[in-house]
Amino acid sequence: MRIYLLKMSLIVSLLVVMCWTAALAQSAGGVTMSSQVAVQSWTENFESGTPSNWEFFGGAGVVQSSQGNVLGFSSAGLAAWLVQPGSDYTLSFRIRQGGGAPEIMLSHKHDPPDEPYYVVRLFPDEAEVVKFVGTQQSSLGFVGKGIGAGVWTSVEISMRSGGQNIAVSAGGQPLLTVQDSQPLTPGAISFRAVGEGGTEIDDLTLTPGSTSSSSQVVQPSKQVQ
């Protein structure tokens, strides 16, 4: 199954090579952290419709669900959040796996042919962190626990020590922590669905800095049914 998903991941990436590079270049109007001292947090709940600091490819888009507006995937696709959090940050969100393999891409620049990024894969019954450099991949860690299927789950991903430590929690409980002694340079965050569609994501908070709240459950801004 993981071999099939890898092939699908490469196909989705190839579809957005040119569009992503141009979109990221145009995101200079957003807040960047290089010249700021104070911590700048970004939040997104999609209630205002399609946000201007995102780019959507394939089956990704803002859709209406029982939760209100959410980031949804009708089929394989990619949604890029065009902000630059730096190398240390905490990303919190809620996710409902509705099919396929939801993936969170970290340190993402989309610089083919040697495009580097991390992928946090969230299956119903397993999770994995994979490092990609071009077509080469290496698993940094795997666990036989996941986020369940068809239910909303709070997830938090923290990147620490200049990218050398990546920790993932789900439902307020630690899920997976990995180390990388040769971390990638900072980049953007993207959300990708590989294989089938049906996954929904909502209530995102991205906070740069080295202080983690990984022991806390993300408080949803919308009622979970």
Query: Domain 2-28+39-208 is in which class?
Result: mainly beta
Distance CA 55, CA 80 (A): 5
Buried-state track 100-109, b at ≥16 Cβ within 10 A, e below 16: bbbbbbbbbb
Structure tokens at 68: 């209100």
Higher-confidence position of 20 and 177: 177
- With 60 as the cut, is the pLDDT of residue 193 above it? yes
Average pLDDT for 47-75:
94
Mean of per-residue pLDDT scores for the chain = 81
Q: Which of 2-6's residues contact partners 24+ apart within 8 Å by CB, and which partners?
A: 4/195, 5/101, 5/121, 5/194, 5/195, 6/137
| Residue among 107, 38, 25, 94 at smallest CA distance from 66 | 94
Specify which residues 200 forms β-bridges with.
72, 96
Higher-confidence position of 23 and 108: 108
Average pLDDT for 46-52:
95
Cα 51 → chain centroid: 16
Distance CA 53, CA 165 (A): 27
pTM of the model: 0.78
The reported pLDDT for the residue numbered 9 is 52
- Per-residue pLDDT of 77-105, as tens digits, reads 999 999 989 999 999 999 999 988 899 99
